[in-house]
Each structure stands twice: as C-alpha cells, then as structure tokens.
C-alpha cells in the first residue's frame, strides 16, 4: 500500500507561511515592502507586545480597488510580475505574491484600502482569520492602505513557542525599520510600541542625513562617501574611517537595488576592503548601495527575499572590495572636511610662530645680548634645526624608548612614537606584496624539509588553499596522514617555527571558505608571514637603523601593522605644550 499522500491545502499554506514569516519582524518587513512598492512616502508601524499581539501598518501609497483587495490574500497573487522572464527584471521589492497569503494563513488579518482617486469615496474592508475570509465589504476610508495583523501564529502554537520576549521581538522590528529607512531616505517611517512613539525617521532627500539618523550620533560628520561603477554595477558607499568601529557586524549594511540583503560575498568584500585597518574583533561601519542590472542577479533565492545571488559573485566581490579599499586608503588630507583643514592651518600657524621664536632665540644667543626673558624663550624652543619645510619634513627619529619604540619628531613639532615591531611587520608585509606584484616571492629551499603535524581540520583548510599558500613562496607536499612537508619558504621569513606559523595560517584562512577571492587569502597569509619574522621589540636599533625603518614606513604610507594594530601614534604638539602648561 502506498504511503505517500498529497497534503491538504491548509497544511500546504502553513508550510509556505512558515518560510516567509518567522517572527513579527518578518511581517513588518513584508508590509513595508508592499507599502514602498505602492509608492508610499509616509509609513507608520504600530506594534503591540513586540508585534505578537498586533502589528498595524498604515501607508499613503496607491491603495487597491475592490477587485485587487479581494485577490491580494490569495497565494501567488501579485501585480508585480506576470511571467518567468520577469523574474530577471524585478525592480520592485515584492514579486512572489506570497506575503499577504502567508501572513493571512497564520493570523487574524484586517485590510482597509482605497485607491487615491478623488472620485472614489469608498474603499474596501477585508477581514480574514487563518486565511478564511470573514468579511468583505465596501467602507469609507482614507486613500492608501491600512493592514493589521493580529494574534500572529494563533493557529500554529509550535511557532509561538519560538518567539522571544516582547523586548527582543520589538528589537527585531526596529532593526527591520532601520534597514528599510536606510534604503529609502525619501520615505518617512515611524514606529510605536505599545502605544508609545519609539522611532521616527523624517523624510529627507539626503542619504547622508538619513544614515546619520539611523546609525546614531557618533557617526555624524564622520561618514566618507564614495561612488564607483563598472560593467552593470554602480556603487554608492559610506564608510567611517576615523577609527570608530563596532564589536559586531550590526552597522554593516548592503542594499541591492533598494533591497536590504544579508550577503556573505558583500560582507566579506567589505571586510577585505578594510583589511589591515581593523583590529581583531572590530567591525567597520559601512553602508553600501549597489545598483545592479536586474538581468545579472537572481532575487528569487530566499523566501523572505533576504538574499540575492549574483551571476558573477567573484566580480561583484572584487569590485566592492577594491572600491572600499580605495575609499579607506585615500589620504585623509584629501577627504577631511572644512573643520579639519582649519585645524591643520592653525597647527601650521603655531609652527611658524614657534619657528619665529627659535630664530629670535638663536639671534639672541648669537649676538650674546639676550635678556633673561628672551633666553627663557630660546631654551624652550624645541624645533628641528635646518630649514626643512614643516609640512613635508617627514619624521625625524630622536631615539629609542624601552628598546621597543622609536621616538620621533613629526610635522609641526608633533611627538611621534613608532612601535618598531609593528612597523617591521608592516614593512615585511609591503615587501612581500611588492615581490608578489613583480611576479614571484623570493624563495629559500630548506636543506632538511620540515614536517608539520596538523589536525584534520587544519590539513583540509591548508589543502583547500594550497594554491594561495604556494603563491606566497611556500612549497608544501602531503606526506600521508595529517602530515605536510614544507620544502621551501619565502626568504624573508628567516628562522621561525613553521609548525606555529602554519597553525596560524590555517586559523586565519579557515574563515574564507572556498569562494573565489584568492587575493584575500594570499594577503592574509602574507600578513601572518610578516608577523612571524623575528620579533624586533627588545632589539637595540642604531640611529641609522631607526632612520631607515622610519623612512621605509613613511614610504608605505601606512600607519598600522598588517593585523590592524597601530604602528604609529602621534601626540599633537599642542598636547605636549598643554602638559607643560604652555598652551
Ligand atoms: P507581492 O508583493 O510579492 O506582489 P504580496 O502578497 O505582498 O505579494 O501582495 C500581493 C499584492 O497586493 C501586491 O502585488 C500588490 O498589488 C497588493 N498590495 C499589497 N499591499 C499593498 C499596499 N500596501 N498598497 C497597495 N497594494 C498592495
Ligand atoms: Mg509583497
């Protein structure tokens, strides 16, 4: 006897609903999608008990006539596409025709809607419980649409059990609204919870202003905007490069054609773009808007439309990474705002005044007729000898502190400390990258090949990325079991524990998975290699060595080691003056 049965309709719709609606925030997201697709520019959301008891969305969009209002809760009913070919030309947020049907199946739904036609006074009311229409009649209502979703999951108790506290569910709703608000700055969004107003994003044509409103006070005035484009993709991005970071990925946002998406490729690309500018555990603040030809993305890969698939993910990845990298590395002087420019001007003025003081002091000394007052002035003059211009004088090493830091004098008489190990790491990294760009990394063959004892996971990660590892100058050979043999290393590496080095490389590259971006893997390995060269903290450096290290570091234009720790710290001259109560 056969054991396969076709499921009854009400079970099918619950299964389908389960894919679309996971929690109250998913309902909010679908209602927002619909309101935006309807052209609304004012959307109000009210949630009761974290949206578990009731969610109401009111919009001023195009509304529906009686016929459409009747159809909209049917499964696969949509006004947005009509053929499969349209799936690759989606410009709306919705297109599956499933959301309202799914929501209706698992809640008590009420829709009041009227098209914005001055001649029409009557709108339509639809009331449904668990997808069954209870009421359907004409009624007077304002133009636009008001949808309330009550008692979510009242007929799916198993789902109810997975819901979290009101506060947690409310938080998810607020997140959904924040990301929609970032995507649509021309729309006014407001959210209230249990009757009290909680969020309100005013309509603004200005994307930067909207991002500042959503991400919070601390990013105000520190967003750097950039635009890039290449075949079929254009990118408008905002990043914070002042060093302000988050401890989670919460302020990394990506929008593809106005749709907020969670996407590993984009996430990875942004992190790789920031690469060595982040310390471990710190995540950047980045908001990226991609406009992509709909023909080269598939939006139909996730029931809640949270994901998209790119026809050429590798290309999108590299484009985004390169764009972010460029934005992050543009010299700060090129991007600083008026305030910063004024500050630099003031510093230069102070320097010039200081120099004037020194000259005076010297003349006084030379001429041997200084007053005590003049002498006091001259003895506190600390400016560099010689007439190098202050703006490009570069760093002048003064000495070594604790055999770990190089103490320098910087532009405008700033006090600059350089961590010699971090600087050395950065130089090694840049040198390896330079060799790689020239074609090959200089290699040194080992007289006695060294065996690495690895865990199965380490082994599989290393084998997966063998190609990238060999690009960095290593030569590896499987030796049976969990053993690999190292036959050659990059010459720059010197005498280090290869066992430790490869454990570290396995840890670093395991985060990459196996998608396309060999360059990141290579860069990461180079950073590990640079870090494993002989540690130089504690080494005595001669003046010439210091000067060479400082000069080389300056030439790289980089102020961080490849892992993102600062290599240089600058203490403003004004700060030093303050210590001595001179300011
Ligand atoms: P989809 O958005 O994928 O088309 P939905 O189930 O979300 O599917 O909505 C079905 C249809 O109902 C939409 O295509 C649209 O025509 C109509 N609709 C839903 N919400 C609104 C709204 N707020 N204003 C106007 N029309 C709406
Ligand atoms: Mg929809």
Q: Looking at residue 314, which CATH number applies to its domain?
A: 3.30.230.10
Please compute the mean of the pLDDT values over residues 247-268 and round it to a whole number.
91
pLDDT grade for 583, boundaries at 50, 70 and 90: low
> Which of 17, 81, 94, 111 for a ligand 1 pocket mutation test, highest count of atoms within 8 Å of Cβ?
94
Q: How far is CA 355 from the centre of its chain?
A: 44
Q: Is-contact 375 364, C-beta < 8 A?
A: yes
**What is the SS3 assignment for 191?**
strand
144 lines ligand 1 (CB under 6 A): no
pLDDT at site 393:
53
Q: Is 42 contained in some domain?
A: yes
CA of 379 to the centre of ligand 1 (A): 79
Q: Do 431 and 344 belong to one domain?
A: no
Residue 136's CB: how many other CB atoms inside 10 A? 14
Neighbouring C-alpha atoms within 13 Å toward the C-beta of 227:
2
Please compute the mean of the pLDDT values over residues 229-240 and round it to a whole number.
90
pLDDT grade for 310, boundaries at 50, 70 and 90: confident
Q: What is the CATH number of the domain that holds 420?
A: 3.30.1370.100
Which of 306, 323, 355 terminates a domain? The answer is 355
Q: Is the pLDDT of residue 523 over 90?
A: no
Sheet with 475-478, strands from edge to edge, namely 443-453, 483-490, 475-478
Question: How many structural domains compose the chain?
Answer: 3
Residue 298 tokens, joined = 């598939």
Q: Is the pLDDT of residue 287 over 80?
A: yes
Q: Is the pLDDT of residue 140 over 50?
A: yes
Residue 503 tokens, joined = 């454990």
Q: Which has the closest alpha carbon to 361: 372, 352, 351? A: 372
Q: Is 363 contained in some domain?
A: no
Which of 169, 185, 205 terminates a domain? The answer is 205
Q: Is 46 contained in some domain?
A: yes
pLDDT grade for 59, boundaries at 50, 70 and 90: very high
Pair type for strands 122-129 and 108-114: antiparallel
**Ligand 1 atom showing the smallest separation from residue 97 Cα:** 8
* DSSP secondary structure letters along 301-350: TSTTS---EETTHHHHHHHHHHHHHHHHHS-HHHH--HHHHHHHHHHHHH
Which pLDDT tens digit goes with each residue over 5-53? 898 888 888 888 888 899 999 999 999 999 999 999 999 999 999 999 9
Higher-pLDDT residue of 242, 269: 269
Q: Do 328 and 419 belong to one domain?
A: no
Q: What is the mean pLDDT of the chain?
A: 82
CA–CA dist 30, 12 (Å, integer): 20
Which of 205, 233, 260 terminates a domain? The answer is 205
**Ligand 1 atom showing the smallest separation from residue 145 Cα:** 23
Q: Is the pLDDT of residue 440 over 60?
A: yes
Question: What is the per-residue burial (b if ≥16 Cβ within 10 Å, else e) of 536-569?
Answer: beeeebeeebbbebbeebbebebbbbbbbbebbe
77 lines ligand 1 (CB under 6 A): yes
CA of 117 to the centre of ligand 1 (A): 18
CA–CA dist 401, 483 (Å, integer): 43
Which pLDDT tens digit goes with each residue over 378-394? 322 222 223 233 333 57
CA of 96 to the centre of ligand 1 (A): 10
Q: Is-contact 474 490, C-beta < 8 A?
A: yes
pLDDT at site 386:
30
Range in 36-40, 143-147, 421-425, 472-476 with the lowest mean pLDDT: 421-425
Cα torsion 529, 239, 42, 44 to 10°: value is: 50
Q: Do 348 and 425 belong to one domain?
A: no
Q: Do 347 and 408 belong to one domain?
A: no
Neighbouring C-alpha atoms within 13 Å toward the C-beta of 167:
0
66 lines ligand 1 (CB under 6 A): no
Q: Is-contact 456 483, C-beta < 8 A?
A: no
Q: Is 2 contained in some domain?
A: no
Q: Return all residues near 126 (Cβ < 8 A) that are at least 6 apart.
A: 69, 70, 73, 109, 110, 111, 133, 135, 136
Which pLDDT tens digit goes with each residue over 347-376? 444 444 444 433 333 333 333 333 333 322
Q: Do 230 and 377 belong to one domain?
A: no
CA of 33 to the centre of ligand 2 (A): 6
Q: Is 384 contained in some domain?
A: yes
pLDDT grade for 66, boundaries at 50, 70 and 90: very high
Q: Is the pLDDT of residue 248 over 90?
A: no
Q: Do 335 and 396 belong to one domain?
A: no
Q: Is-contact 279 271, C-beta < 8 A?
A: no
Q: Is 36 contained in some domain?
A: yes
Q: Is 114 contained in some domain?
A: yes
Q: How far apart are the first and last CA of the chain?
A: 94
Question: DSSP code of 276?
Answer: G
Ligand nearest the Cα atom of residue 35: 1
Angle at the Cα of 345 from the Cα atoms of 376 and 350, rounded to 5 degrees: 0
528 lines ligand 1 (CB under 6 A): no
Q: Do 393 and 339 belong to one domain?
A: no
81 lines ligand 1 (CB under 6 A): no
CA–CA dist 52, 34 (Å, integer): 20
Q: Do 201 and 226 belong to one domain?
A: no
Distances (CA, A) of 122 to 71, 105, 110: 18, 27, 16
Q: Which has the closest alpha carbon to 130: 6, 48, 14? A: 14
Please compute the mean of the pLDDT values over residues 433-449 and round it to a whole number.
87
Q: What is the CATH number of the domain that holds 46?
A: 3.30.565.10
**Length of the chain measured in residues:** 583
Q: Do 186 and 75 belong to one domain?
A: yes
**Structural domain boundaries, residue 512:** 372-583
For ligand 1, atom 27, which residue shows the shortest CA distance? Answer: 34
Q: Is-contact 527 413, C-beta < 8 A?
A: no
Q: Which residues pair with 124 in a beta bridge?
A: 113, 138
Strands, E assignment, 461-517 = 475-478, 483-490
Q: Do 200 and 243 belong to one domain?
A: no
Q: Which residues pair with 45 in a beta bridge?
A: 57, 191
Q: Do 413 and 341 belong to one domain?
A: no
Higher-pLDDT residue of 113, 280: 113
Residue 495 tokens, joined = 């005498």
CA–CA dist 53, 24 (Å, integer): 9
CA of 102 to the centre of ligand 2 (A): 10
pLDDT at site 463:
86
Which pLDDT tens digit goes with each residue over 167-206? 999 999 999 999 999 999 999 999 999 999 999 999 887 8
Please compute the mean of the pLDDT values over residues 75-94 and round it to a whole number.
85
Q: Do 391 and 349 belong to one domain?
A: no
pLDDT at site 534:
57
Q: Is 254 contained in some domain?
A: yes
Which pLDDT tens digit goes with each residue over 469-516? 998 999 999 888 888 999 999 988 877 788 888 988 888 877 665 544
Helix (H) or strand (E) holding 409: strand 405-409
CA of 14 to the centre of ligand 1 (A): 19
Range in 112-126, 128-142, 164-178, 562-576 with the lowest mean pLDDT: 562-576
The widest CA-to-CA distance across the chain, in whole angstroms, is 119
């Amino acid at each position: 006897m056969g054991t396969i049965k076709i499921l009854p309709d009400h079970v099918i719709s619950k299964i389908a609903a389960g894919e679309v609606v996971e929690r109250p925030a998913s309902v909010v997201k679908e209602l927002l999608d619909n309101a935006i697709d309807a052209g609304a520019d004012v959307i109000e959301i009210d949630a009761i008990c974290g949206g578990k008891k009731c969610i109401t969305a009111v919009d001023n969009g195009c509304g529906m006539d009686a016929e459409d209002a009747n159809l909209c809760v049917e499964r696969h009913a949509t006004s947005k596409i009509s053929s499969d070919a349209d799936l690759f030309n989606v410009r709306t947020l919705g297109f599956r025709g499933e959301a309202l049907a799914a929501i209706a199946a698992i809640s008590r739904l009420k829709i009041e809607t009227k098209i914005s036609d001055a001649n029409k006074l009557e709108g339509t009311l639809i009331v449904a419980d668990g997808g069954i229409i209870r009421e359907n009649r004409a009624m007077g209502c304002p133009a636009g649409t008001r949808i309330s979703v009550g008692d979510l999951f009242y007929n799916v108790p198993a789902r109810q059990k997975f819901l979290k506290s009101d506060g947690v569910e409310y938080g998810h709703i607020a997140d959904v609204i924040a990301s929609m608000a970032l995507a649509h700055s021309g729309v006014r969004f407001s959210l209230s919870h249990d009757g009290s107003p909680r969020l309100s994003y005013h309509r603004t044509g200005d994307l930067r202003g909207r991002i500042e409103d959503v991400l919070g006070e601390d990013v105000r005035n520190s967003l750097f905007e950039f635009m890039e484009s290449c075949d079929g993709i254009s990118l408008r991005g905002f990043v914070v490069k002042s060093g302000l970071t988050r401890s989670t990925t919460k302020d990394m946002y990506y929008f593809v054609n106005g749709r907020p998406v969670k996407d590993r490729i984009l996430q990875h690309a942004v992190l790789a773009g920031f690469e060595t500018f982040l310390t471990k555990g710190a995540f950047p603040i980045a908001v990226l808007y991609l406009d992509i030809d709909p023909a080269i993305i598939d939006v139909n890969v996730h029931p809640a439309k949270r994901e998209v698939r790119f026809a050429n993910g590798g290309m999108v990845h590299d484009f985004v990474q390169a764009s972010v990298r460029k934005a992050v590395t543009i010299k700060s002087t090129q991007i600083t705002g008026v305030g910063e420019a004024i500050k630099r001007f003031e510093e230069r003025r102070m320097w010039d005044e200081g120099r004037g003081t020194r000259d005076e002091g010297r003349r006084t000394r030379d001429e041997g007729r200084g007053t005590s007052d003049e002498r006091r002035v001259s003895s506190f003059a600390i400016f560099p000898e010689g007439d190098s211009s202050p703006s490009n004088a570069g760093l002048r090493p003064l000495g070594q502190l604790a055999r770990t830091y190089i103490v320098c004098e910087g532009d405008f008489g700033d006090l600059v400390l350089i961590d010699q190990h971090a600087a050395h790491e950065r130089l090694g990294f840049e040198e390896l990258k330079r060799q790689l760009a020239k074609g090959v990394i200089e290699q040194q063959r080992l007289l006695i090949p060294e065996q690495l004892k690895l865990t199965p996971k380490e082994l599989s990660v290393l084998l997966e990325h063998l190609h990238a590892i060999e690009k960095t100058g290593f030569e590896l050979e499987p030796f049976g079991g969990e053993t690999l043999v190292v036959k050659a290393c990059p010459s720059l590496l010197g005498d280090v524990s290869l066992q430790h080095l490869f454990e570290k490389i396995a840890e670093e590259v395991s985060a990459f998975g196996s998608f396309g971006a060999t360059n990141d893997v290579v860069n990461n390995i180079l950073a590990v290699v640079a870090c494993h060269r002989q540690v130089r903290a504690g080494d005595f450096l001669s003046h010439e060595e210091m000067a060479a290290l400082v000069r080389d570091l300056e030439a790289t234009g980089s102020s961080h080691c490849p892992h993102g720790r600062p290599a240089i710290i600058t203490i403003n001259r004004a700060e030093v003056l303050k210590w001595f109560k001179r300011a």
